[in-house]
């Protein structure tokens, strides 16, 4: 989606994609193999996700990127954290202890700003993008990481004809097309979560599958 779309969503508080609790797949499947406390975890399109705070509390260093200043301000305010801010290339870096959030467009990020990463946690980035944008996202993510950076990817799969995104449906086949050149892909879990998601039920869906993948560099 274009940046203006997300700015408008945050400005009008249309943020149904935000979860008021830590994602259960993160709790169940973290840490990924080889990821120790103190490792640096990247959270693309992080919004004001409480998952970042959970990772921080578990002893990990966390770096998020988010285009909306409103979202970042809300994250720190709602969690009663007092960050420092500083310029970082085309971004503004918000820092609190082991947590950094870069305010700007994910696609403008480069390694000089982001630094070295140990892992990626994507719950809301890939599924936020329409099909035409996903290859660019996957390629840019690969460019920002190195040969030791693994990822926990969480997707949704449903009948896209019955409901428009975002969040968009991303199939198993598409995950393989996007990431198999750079990663070995393991499906960790796949569950129908329709009962817990009234918005999707009200759209007439009969199945909403949430899936968690471990992406390990080849």
Q: Which H/E stretch holds residue 153?
A: strand 150-157
Predicted confidence (pLDDT) per residue in 112-164, tens digit: 999 999 999 999 999 999 999 999 999 999 999 988 899 999 999 999 999 88
pLDDT digits (tens, 9 = 90+) for 70-109: 999 999 999 999 999 999 999 999 999 999 999 999 999 9
- Model confidence at 196: pLDDT above 90: no
Can you give the pLDDT at residue 16? 60
Alpha helices in 39-130 (DSSP H): 50-57, 69-78, 111-114
Question: 132: number of CA atoms within 13 Å, CB side?
Answer: 2
Domains in the chain, start-ordered, CATH in brackets?
3-15+23-217 (3.40.50.150)
Based on its alpha-carbon atoms, the radius of gyration of the chain, rounded to whole angstroms, reads 16
Which has more confidence, 206 or 10? 206
Which pLDDT score, from 0 to 100, does residue 137 have?
A: 96
Q: Give residue 3's pLDDT.
A: 75
CA 183 from centre of chain: 17
Model pLDDT, residue 202 = 86
């Amino acid at each position: 989606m274009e940046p203006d779309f997300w700015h408008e969503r945050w400005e009008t508080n249309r943020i149904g994609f935000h979860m008021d609790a830590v994602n259960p797949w993160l709790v169940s499947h973290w840490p990924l193999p080889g990821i120790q406390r103190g490792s640096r975890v990247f959270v693309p399109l992080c919004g004001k996700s409480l998952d970042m705070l959970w990772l921080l509390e578990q002893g990990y260093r966390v770096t998020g990127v988010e285009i909306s200043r409103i979202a970042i301000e809300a994250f720190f305010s709602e969690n009663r954290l007092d960050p420092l801010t500083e310029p970082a290339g085309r971004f503004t870096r918000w820092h609190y202890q082991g947590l950094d959030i870069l305010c700007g467009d994910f696609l403008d990020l480069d390694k000089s700003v982001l630094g070295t990463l140990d892992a990626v946690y994507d719950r809301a980035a890939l599924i936020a993008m329409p099909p035409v944008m996903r290859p660019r996202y996957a390629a840019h993510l690969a460019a920002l990481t190195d040969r030791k950076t693994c990822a926990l990817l969480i997707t949704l799969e449903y009948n896209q004809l019955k409901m428009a995104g975002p969040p968009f449906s991303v199939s198993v086949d598409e995950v393989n097309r996007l990431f198999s050149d750079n990663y070995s892909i393991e499906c960790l879990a796949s569950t129908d979560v329709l009962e817990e998601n009234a918005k999707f039920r009200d759209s007439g869906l009969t199945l909403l599958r949430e899936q968690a993948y471990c992406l390990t560099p080849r």
